[in-house]
Amino acid sequence: MGYIITGRLSSVAFIAALLFIGFTSFAQENKGFNRADTLRGSNGPGRSWWDLLHYDITVEPDYPTQTIKGISIMRIRLLDDVGSTEAQVDLQMPMQMDSVFVDNKLVKMSRDGNAWFIQFPGGKKNQQHIIQCHYSGKPRRAVKAPWDGGWVWTNDPAGNPWMTVACQGLGASVWYPCKDYQADEPDQGAILRMIVPDTLMAVGNGRLIGEISGKTGKKMYSWQVTNPINNYNIVPYIGKYAHFHESYDGEKGKLDMDYWVLPVNLEKAKKQMADAPRMMKAFEHWFGPYPFYADGFKIVEAPHLGMEHQSAIAYGNKYKNGYLGTDLSSTGWGLKWDFIIIHESGHEWFANNITTKDIADMWVHEGFTNYSETLFTDYYYGKEAGNDYVIGTRQLIANDIPIVGIYGVHQEGSGDMYYKAGNMIHMIRQLIGDDETFRKILREMNQRFYHQTVNGSDVESFLEKESGIKLVKIFDQYLRTIQVPNLEYKWKKKKLWYRWTNAVDGFDMPLPIIINSDSSNKTWVYPGTNWKKKKVKGLDPGSMIKADRNFYITLKKID
C-alpha cells in the first residue's frame, strides 16, 4: 500500500501519511517471499527446539566511527532431547559475529544473510545452556527513526553525543545477536550493560543495578528488567541527561515513575510529564494494574518521535500536546493531552504485556493502543468526547490492504491497524452496550494473557467468549477485507427492508438506527446479507434513517 499523496492534503492527513510510511511501505512488499523472509518470520528448525530464558547484553558504542561492539549472552532451555544440530541466531548485515561460545566452548558458525547458524552440541530436555556471541560492526543507521529504524547517532542542542536505537519491525538483530522472533521472549528478563564516556549517562529498561567506572574515561551502566520483554524493546539511551522522580499510588502499591530528559528541557518536562500519572490512573482503571511494577515506569527523551520501549518509553514529542502539536482526530480533544505519552504508554498493556507471536497480528498492539487514546479522553472529558475522538480519526483510514498481514514471513498488514482497528473495537464496545462489562473484559484480557505471547485468533476468541456476542464475521470484515459494510434499506408496504452489502458472506452485525434524525426514535436492526424487514414506529414512505455514528459503515437508500 502506501499513502499516495495527490493534490492538497490537510495537515492531519499529511502527518498521517508520514506516520504510516514505515508500516505501509513494508506491507506493500508482499509480491513474493524468499528463504530470508521465512528464516526471519517463522519458528523454523533452528529455533523451534529451544526456549529463550534470559539476555545479558553488553554494548560499547564508538560515537566518532559510528560503530559498536559487544557481547550478547543468551541463557536457553531445551524443549526436547536434541542431538548435535544448528541453532539460529539473528544478526543483521552489516554487523559481524566475531565468535560464538556454547557453554564456554568455541563453536563453528556460518552465515545465511541476516541469520547465523551456530553449531550446537546437543543436550537433554529442560537442560539449560549458555550461548555467548561476540559481535561488532557499523549497525544500520536510522534514516527517519522510528519508522526507518536502526541506530541513531546525533547531537543534543548543546552539542553532546546523543545515541539510541529504534528497531520495531526492523528487528533487534539490527544491533545485537538475538533470537529475533516475537513469539519467544526471555522469560526471566534481561540485563543491558552500556559502556560509554564518563561524561554521558546511559539509561536502559528496568532498574539501574550497577555503575562501574573505568580507567580510560569510560563508565559502564547496567540496567535490569525482571519481566519478559520483546526483543525490540531492549534499547539503550545514551546522552547528557537530567533526572526527576515521583511515586504513584497504583493498584499494586507504590510505582516508581522516573523521567530522563535533556537538561535544557527539564522545566518543560516537569510540566508536560504531568500527563504520565494521569495516564496511569486512566489506564489502570480501564485495563488493570500496570504490568511491570517490578521494573518501574519511566519516560526517556529521545532524538526521535517515540516508541513503546517497555518500562522506558521513548519520548520526542517536543513537549507539545497532540501529535507534535496537531490533533489527529481534528476534533480538538486530541490537543488536551500529549499523544506520545498516552499512546506509547498504552502499549505497556497492549504490545508489551500482551504480545502477538507474529507481526501479521499487530492490530492487537496498535488497535487497542489506538483505542486507549479514546478511553483516556473518555475518562477525563466524558463519553461523548471519547466518541468524538475515535470517530474523528476515521479520516485517517486508507482501506488499502487488509489489516491482518501474512503469517510466517514477518509481514505486517495495513497501517489501518491503528484507526480502523480502533474503530472496530469501539463498535464492539457499542454491541456490548455496558461500559462496566466492557471494562471488565479489558481488565480480564490483560490478566488472562499477562506477560504472554498470543495469536490474534486467541484475542478474537477471548472477546467473543467474554462478550457473549458473535464477533467472527465482524473480525473477518474489518481485519481481513478492505470493504466498508454498506446498509441498504428501502421502504415497502409500511415496513423497513434492509440488508448488508459490500460485506463478507454471513456478515450479521446488529446496528442501531435513528428515524428522521429523531434521537428518541432509535431502534436496533439485525441485518444479514439477505433482505430482512421490520415494522418501525414513525415510519412513512418519505422517512430517512441514519446509523448510530459510533458504527463505521456506509448507508444507502434504494428505490
Please state whether 304 falls in left (phi above 0), alpha (psi between -120 and 50) or beta: beta
SS3 255: strand
Whether the predicted pLDDT of 15 surpasses 90: no
Tell me what pLDDT residue 20 has.
41
Establish if 304 belongs to a structural domain.
Answer: no
Distances in whole angstroms, Cα of residue 263 to Cα of each of 162, 240, 241:
13, 7, 6
Boundary (domain end) residue, out of 188, 216, 240 = 240
Residue 232: phi and psi, rounded to 5, are: -70, -10
Q: What is the DSSP string of 486-540?
A: EEEEEEETTEEEEEEESS-TT----EEEEETT-TTSEEEE---SS-EEE--TT--
pLDDT bin (cut points 50, 70, 90) of residue 10 is very low
- Kindly state whether residues 63 and 189 are assigned to the same domain: yes
Boundary (domain end) residue, out of 456, 480, 504 = 480
Whether the predicted pLDDT of 280 surpasses 50: yes
Q: Cell numbers 485495563 label which residue?
A: 287
Cell digits of residue 64: 566518532
Establish if 520 belongs to a structural domain.
Answer: yes
Tell me what pLDDT residue 317 has.
98
Establish if 257 belongs to a structural domain.
Answer: no
The alpha-carbon radius of gyration of the chain (Å, integer) is 25
CA distance 463 to 483: 22
Establish if 349 belongs to a structural domain.
Answer: yes
- Kindly state whether residues 411 and 360 are assigned to the same domain: yes
- Kindly state whether residues 130 and 182 are assigned to the same domain: yes
pLDDT tens-place string over residues 496-538? 899 999 999 999 999 999 887 777 778 899 999 999 998 876 6
- Kindly state whether residues 433 and 466 are assigned to the same domain: yes
- Kindly state whether residues 19 and 116 are assigned to the same domain: no
pLDDT tens-place string over residues 133-158? 999 999 999 988 898 899 999 999 99
Whether the predicted pLDDT of 166 surpasses 60: yes
Whether the predicted pLDDT of 24 surpasses 80: no
DSSP secondary structure letter of residue 178: B
Tell me what pLDDT residue 518 has.
72
Name residue 122's amino acid: G
- Kindly state whether residues 68 and 20 are assigned to the same domain: no
Alpha helices in 317-382 (DSSP H): 339-346, 363-381
SS3 442: helix
Tell me what pLDDT residue 326 has.
98
pLDDT bin (cut points 50, 70, 90) of residue 491 is confident
First-to-last C-alpha distance (Å) of the chain = 36
- Kindly state whether residues 536 and 389 are assigned to the same domain: no
Whether the predicted pLDDT of 194 surpasses 70: yes
What mean pLDDT comes out for the span 381-392?
98
What mean pLDDT comes out for the span 80-86?
97
Per residue in 423-448, is it b (16+ CB within 10 Å) or e — as a string? bbbbbbbebbeeeeebbebbbebbee
Boundary (domain end) residue, out of 419, 449, 480 = 480
Tell me what pLDDT residue 516 has.
78
- Kindly state whether residues 524 and 553 are assigned to the same domain: yes
Tell me what pLDDT residue 27 has.
40
What mean pLDDT comes out for the span 35-40?
96
Tell me what pLDDT residue 538 has.
63
Tally of domains within the chain: 3
Tell me what pLDDT residue 31 has.
58
pLDDT bin (cut points 50, 70, 90) of residue 541 is low
Q: Tell me what the pLDDT averaged over the chain comes to.
A: 93
Judge residue 506's burial from the number of C-beta atoms within 10 Å of its C-beta, 0-12 exposed, 13-18 middle, 19 or more buried. Answer: middle
Domain that holds residue 346: 11-33+324-480
Whether the predicted pLDDT of 472 surpasses 50: yes
Q: Cell numbers 547531537 label which residue?
A: 155
pLDDT tens-place string over residues 399-429? 999 999 999 999 999 999 999 999 999 999 9
Whether the predicted pLDDT of 359 surpasses 50: yes
